[in-house]
Structure 1
């Protein structure tokens, strides 16, 4: 018996990566805490010195 497939255009609630992370842990060590820290994306993308450039 097979699992019914989702129709096209519908995302599954959990990805394969989520399932593997649950089984193996964030760094391949089951039960270990996730040491990764996310930096704010907007701060990374915003240039420090804004040069508006030429208008035309």
Structure 2
């Protein structure tokens, strides 16, 4: 019996990266905290209110 496939254009709830991160941890060490953090300069450059605007 085969698994039902999702229709085209529908994103799965979790990506392959999410599944691997859950199993192996953020840096390949199970149970280790994620050391990645946003630098102050990147935080300043990241927009707080995202307005996608018009597509056409």
Q: Is residue 2:24 matched to residue 1:29?
A: no
Larger Rg: 1
TM-score by length of 2: 0.66
> Structure 2: which 5+ runs fail to align?
none
Q: How many residues of Structure 1 are paired with residues of Structure 2 in the alignment?
A: 56
My pick for the range that moved more, 44-53 or 15-24, is 44-53
Map Cα deviations across residues 15-37 of structure 1 (whole Å, 9 max, x no partner).
00000000000000000000000
> Structure 1: which 5+ runs fail to align?
none
Runs of 4+ aligned residues of structure 1 deviating over 3 Å after TM superposition are: 39-56
Distance 1:48 1:9, change over 3 A: closer
The two structures, once aligned, show a CA RMSD in angstroms of 7.5
